Structure 1
Amino acid sequence: MAARDTGSVATRAPVLSCAAVGSVRKATWRQYWSFLGLNVVVSAATTLLILSVWGRPRPAPAATVLPTLAVAERLASVIPTASSTLAPTATPVTYVVQSGDTLMTIAQSLGVSDDVLMKLNKLNNPDDLDVGQILLVPTPKSGRAPTETPEPRPTAQPTVTPLSDSQAPRVEIRGVDGVGDLESEAIRLLNTGGVAKMAGWTLDDGRNQVYVFPSFTLHNGAVSVNTRPGTDTVIDLFWGLSEPVLASGKIVTLRDADGNVQSTFSIP
């Protein structure tokens, strides 16, 4: 029977596993989605905060207010007190000096003199101007010389040249025909001068029998005035009587439209 060697039996050391010391656990899908959602929320909140700050309306720049009191005091020192001998002064306006402006160019552009600008703004040196400086400027009407009103020219009157003897009409009674016979009775006229416009001329027998010429023009030539009715032509006019008017001893008179006697004829 074999002897049991108790001394050779070694004591076993305990073995520790990694799980007993501490192990790294793998994240689950639920944890991944939780972290991702948190990042999205934080990013969105940051973006909204930036946009709200950036889009906030900025305050508008304050408008430059012209000191009305100062302008009024300066105007009061320049504009004279109204009196019966002073003409009314135009209300001034303001002008802001720009880069490159001179007193002369400002005066020329506004239609005033540089002396008026210097006096109104109390300037001792015309070159002492600053960009942005406010100048008082009178209206152009007060800085310009008064415009002269042209006097109306008299309307030219037409000159009437009297007709010469060769141009003036010369109408005469040259004779009578058919005395006492209504069908052939006529007074013969002859124009040896210029054109005669005979409207309104008259022929009378000296006994209240008057013939008034119609609108008729007698050129150099002859025309007969018949005492009977008829239709006027360029060589024959008709008195329109119903009985003869000419008789021996009567004097026939020709007058123009003004009543001036042009010719007479005594019937033999």
Structure 2
Amino acid sequence: MRTRTWVVFILLNVIVSAGVVVAILFLWRQLHAPASSPPTPMSELRATGEPTAPPTARPVVSPTPTGPLLYIVQEGDTLGAIADAYEVSIADLMSINGLTDPNLIYPGQTIVIPVGQLSYPTIEPMGEETAPAATPTSELFSTSLPAAVPTPLPTLTPSGPPLIEISQVLGSGNLEAEVVLIRNRGGTISLEGWSLSDAEGNVFFFPALTLFPDTNVRVHSMAGDDVPTDLYWDRSTPAWNGGELITLRDRTWSVVDTYVVP
């Protein structure tokens, strides 16, 4: 009887101890369970994606100067070298400066250089307005831009009327040294068609040459290659004699100046 009582007592003790342990474990889990994070809103789930890169700043382009530049020709310059330096064509330089020979430039000469973009005038219709004609459907798909009309380039402005004179005759009677010095003390002038002559019938005609203000051109009697500052008559004998009169005439054969050879 005593043995059965002890067995029952031990079983009850085991059951009670197991219940206490289970309760303690349950409470421990409730107290130490990790906090759950709140659910992510659907709007955020739908808006996820790659981060947006900040916009890259564009470089600021410096404005290009418009209008012509003026260049003073230096010793050893050529029209081709000037055109290459300013990235323009030789034809454009000759056209804007009224040149007929690309080899005829001289130190001190002013060259106009076209730079920048040309502006185009807007042409307005004249007369009464009329209703525009219907455009065929085929033309709607084959339109093209109208041809632009360029603005005429500026031309050189002479500084006052030209004043051409025979300033000096050197080396008369010596073919190698004989030279006539022509000076412009006025505005820009073309000497094409002008002439130097004497009473013996010797006549030198000037080629296409522009003489700018305060510049000279030398006319040599001997043979040689023309340059903007020196022209050559290609004679085999001297042209001028001491004491004779040299006459400078323009293209209309009007007398511009005379000079007595010393």
TM over 0.5: no
- Give the TM-score range, shorter chain: 0.3 to 0.5
TM superposition score normalised by structure 1: 0.38
| Pair member with larger Rg | 1
Comparing both chains, which one has the higher relative contact order based on Cα–Cα distances under 8 Å and sequence gaps of 6 or more?
2
TM superposition score normalised by structure 2: 0.39
